[in-house]
Structure formats: structure tokens, C-alpha cells
Amino acid sequence: MADTMPTQEAVRAWTRMARAQQRTLERIEGALKRAELPPLAWYDVLLELSREGAADGIRPFELERALLLPQYGLSRLIDRIARSGLIERRPCAEDGRGHLIAITGDGRELLGRMWPVYGGALAATVDARLTRAEAASLARLLDKLLADEASPLDRPA
Amino acid sequence: MADTMPTQEAVRAWTRMARAQQRTLERIEGALKRAELPPLAWYDVLLELSREGAADGIRPFELERALLLPQYGLSRLIDRIARSGLIERRPCAEDGRGHLIAITGDGRELLGRMWPVYGGALAATVDARLTRAEAASLARLLDKLLADEASPLDRPA
DNA sequence: AAAGATTGATCAGTCAATCTTG
DNA sequence: CAAGATTGACTGATCAATCTTT
């Protein structure tokens, strides 16, 4: 399968990316925890549900794609958030298999309280170390890395 | 606590980094799993133990620092790897509280079989999308992001 | 049969408490 | 008591199997 070994540059980029992501995530989760707020995954769900056009709710499989979560992980995540009253499940008219997930008033309110903490952690981590031009450059390189051309690994063995 | 909000560039860099790390990790873990090899965390431990100077074993707390793992997570990870016979615990002469962890012959052998798969996934993911110069540039920016100046978040509330 | 979604069983991660030695 | 390390209890992730509707 793997007939080519990575360049030294690719290895260094990967190890740094893994570290930087881990550290940044720890800072964000730490800040949320200190503020007694839910974890980042809840923010991502609430944000997606608060977008224009999601007022009537969206289907779990749409969330699944937006957040790149496996379906079984999502079922239980939705359960937990719904039990807290931040989102609600509604029956779906067009497709009896699934339902619609919609954000509640409490959900919108919490989203508003989470952003200052989340954003503050990001500013203290990223903006404190990179200029705007550097951050833009970083984002551009990561976008290239995210281009979803099929890679050799995608071929079935 | 968070008195400054992040720039748009910082937010974009962070969201891309989270996605890129997730996707790259999934590819690596997927490749290892298809090859019926242990997860990446085992590789990291084995690699650390295979370095020059670790022939007699190293202390768990050293591993903890090298891999940025919490102590309780490490205890159980070591348990699992040791149960597979890839590493072994030895009593520590100088300090009766802890022991030394050393890689076994089987461990070295497995490490050698994991690298082609790990490296192949990296090449197929990173080198397939970035030039060497771009990967070097990415690594440099991430190094800046990893600079461990104290950030405002580190101050106690 | 395939798509959307959930559930049961199992495994790994987390937090606090604990134990031992320095 | 600090530091090094482990354990118990709980929460969260994962995989395969299942159920329903299209």
C-alpha cells in the first residue's frame, strides 16, 4: 500500500500540527471548564443549529457531515445536549426515519455565553503568537492540506 | 479573563488546524488498523523507548513529559503495552517509588513494522498535497504557535 | 437492499482519592 | 508534605448489530 516514505518536511509539519492542535484544544477546553461551561463539541453543535435556515431544525445526518462525527457518536451527543434542554428533537414530516434537531432559547443563550470564553482562549493562544498575516498564511497552507483529492490510501487494498 | 476577541485570521487558522489534524490522524489510524497494527499512541511510546540512552529503560514521568500525557493515562497505556510484551517494567535502583520502562525485542520489531505504514499514510496525506517548501513553511508557523510564552490564560483567575 | 438512526457491549479517557518513597 | 505512580468509579468513544422507513 504505502510505497513512498514521507519527506522530512512532511514529518515535521505533522508532528508540529499534532502538538499545536493538542495544546490549543487543551487551552480552549480548560477555559470552558474553568467558566463552568460545556465542552467544545457542544458549542459546535449549537453553532451549527443556530445558522440561518436551521430555524426549523436540521437532520442528524446533516450535523454528522458538518461536524465530521460518526453517526453513533452523534446519537449520544445529541442525547446529552437534549437532556440539558439546549436542543430539542421534533418529528420529521418528510422522512419518518429521522427527526429534526432544533436549538432552543436556552441553547442560544448558552452559545452566547460560550463564545467570549472560546474566543478569548483563541486570541490568547493564536493571536498572541502569530501576526494576522502569519495566521492567514497558516490557514492557507492547512486549506491545501485539506483538499480532498483522493489519496492513494483511499484505494481499497 | 478573556478581554480580547480573536482576529478572523486566528479563527480560520484554528478551525482549519482542527480539521486537518483530525483528518490526518484518521488516515494514519485507519492505515494502522487495516494493517492490524496497534494505534499511534503505542508507536509514540515505543519510539521514545527506542532512543539512544533509553536502553536501560526510562521513568514513566519522563515519558509523560515527552508525550504530553497525563500521569493516569500513561499508567494504563503502559499496562496495555506491557501486557502485549512490547515493553517491560523493571525495578528502579535509585528511586524505589517508580520503575524503569524498557522496550523489548518484540517491541523493536513491531516499531519497525509500524513505520512503513505510518510513514506511508503521512506521505499519502501530506506530501501528496504540499510541496516540501510548503510543508517546511507550515512546520515553521506551527513552531511559532507552539512557543510557550505564558499566555494571559495562564494567569490564575 | 440501502439510508437514517439508535442501542448493547466493550474499551479507553478522566477525575479524585490513594499509596509509597524521598 | 512533595513527587511518582496506581486504582476505583464514572463518563465518553467505539464497533457491531439492530430497527425502521424509503
Between chains, do A123 and B7 touch, taking CB under 8 Å as contact? yes
**What pLDDT is recorded for position A154?**
45
Write out pLDDT tens, residues B12-33.
999 999 999 999 999 999 999 9
**In this structure, how many other beta carbons lie within 10 angstroms of the beta carbon of residue A58?**
18
The helix/strand/coil state of A89 is: strand
Whole-angstrom Cα distance, residue B80 to residue B22? 24
Looking up cell 523493571 gives B90
Q: How confident is the model at residue B78 (pLDDT cuts 50, 70, 90)?
A: very high
Tell me which DSSP letter residue B69 carries: -
- The alpha-helical segments, DSSP class H, found in chain A are 8-34, 40-49, 60-67, 71-83, 105-122, 132-146
**Weakest-pLDDT range from A14-18, A150-154, B110-114:** A150-154
Rounded Cα distance between B80 and B70, Å, is: 16
* Percentage of residues of chain B with pLDDT beyond 70: 92
Residues of B in contact with A138 (CB under 8 A): 13, 16-17, 138, 141-142, 145
**Which among A16, A139, A149 is the nearest to B142, CB-wise?**
A16
Does position B91 have pLDDT exceeding 70, yes or no? yes
Residues 78-117 on chain B lying near strand D, CB distance under 7 A: 78-79, 89, 92, 95, 97-99
Judge whether residue A156 has pLDDT over 50.
Answer: no
Q: Does the beta-carbon distance from B128 to A116 stay under 8 Å?
A: no
Task: Report chain B's C-alpha Rg in angstroms.
Answer: 19
pLDDT score of B54: 86
Phi, psi of B101 (to 5 degrees): -110, 125
pLDDT tens profile A68-94: 999 999 999 999 999 999 999 999 988
- pLDDT tens digits, A23-72: 999 999 999 999 999 999 999 999 999 998 888 999 999 999 999 999 99
Mean pLDDT across A116-135 = 97
Beta strand spans in chain B (E) = 87-91, 99-103
pLDDT of residue A150: 54
Q: Enumerate the residues of chain B whose CB falls inside 8 A of the CB of residue A130.
A: 10, 13, 141, 144-145
Residue nearest to nucleotide D19 (CA to C1'): A97
Question: Which pLDDT does position B148 carry in this prediction?
Answer: 80
CA distance B57 to chain A (A): 24
Contacts of A95 (CB under 8 A, 6+ apart): A59
